[in-house]
Structure 1
């Protein structure tokens, strides 16, 4: 199993990046690889329409460490853990998203990596405009 760390440096404070990226109400604005519509809250879970169908997302509780890990329960019932960190960077903040090749072909893994890259580019553009 391969892991890939995809990151973007964002010209904003780590606190600003974390606040925006960790807010479920903002997911549909920047995370097209995860959701294509507004999220529905169900307790601590979020129900979203993703490119894979309806999935359930559970984020780690808000914290002071820049951790935005989240578990995604796929329509198959499989749960995928997605580690995400926001850390200080000399030019502002860096967001780091780790993807893993769990049961994916090389082509599927490359496709998922490209979607994460696009999502992080969108996040960067939005947060730098705020």
Structure 2
């Protein structure tokens, strides 16, 4: 299994980026690689219509450390733990996401890395857009 770290520097304070990304209602706005439509809450889990089909997602509890790790249960039943962090950066913050090659061909893995990169670019644009 391979891993690839995708990061994006965001010209916004870590608290701003974290608050936006941690708000589940914002997930379809920036995380198109995971959620294409509204998110349904089922207990502590989220059920989202993803490009892979319906998946269940569970984020870690909100915290002051910028940790947005989340487990994704794939349609196959396999659980993928996705490390995600928002950390301080001299230009604002940096979002770091680890993509893991689980149940993916090399081409699918490259596609997922590109989707996460696009998701982080969208997140950066949304949190730095003028109000």
- Partners of 2:104 and 2:25 in 1: CA distance: 29
Task: Structure 1: give runs of 5+ residues left out of the alignment.
Answer: none
Residue 3 of structure 2: aligned partner:
3
User: Residue 35 of structure 1: SS of its match in structure 2?
Assistant: coil
Residue 47 of structure 1: aligned partner:
47
Q: Structure 1 length normalisation: TM-score?
A: 0.97
Residue 34 of structure 1: aligned partner:
34
User: Residue 16 of structure 1: SS of its match in structure 2?
Assistant: helix
Q: What's the CA shift for 1:2?
A: 1.3
Deviation readout 1:71-120 (Å, 9 max, x if unpaired)? 00111111111000000000000000001112322111100000000100
Q: What pairs with 1:3-22 in structure 2 (closer than 5 Å)?
A: 3-22=3-22
- Partners of 1:4 and 1:65 in 2: CA distance: 22
User: Residue 34 of structure 1: SS of its match in structure 2?
Assistant: coil
Q: What pairs with 1:74-89 in structure 2 (closer than 5 Å)?
A: 74-89=74-89
Detail structure 1 runs of 4+ shifted over 4 Å in the superposition.
none
Residue 91 of structure 1: aligned partner:
91
- Partners of 1:107 and 1:35 in 2: CA distance: 21
Query: What is the aligned-residue RMSD (CA, Å)?
Result: 0.8
- Partners of 1:68 and 1:89 in 2: CA distance: 17
Q: What's the CA shift for 1:43?
A: 1.6
Equivalent pairs counted in the alignment come to 130
Task: Structure 2: give runs of 5+ residues left out of the alignment.
Answer: none
After TM superposition, the structure 1 stretch with the greater mean CA deviation from structure 2, 91-100 or 102-111, is 102-111
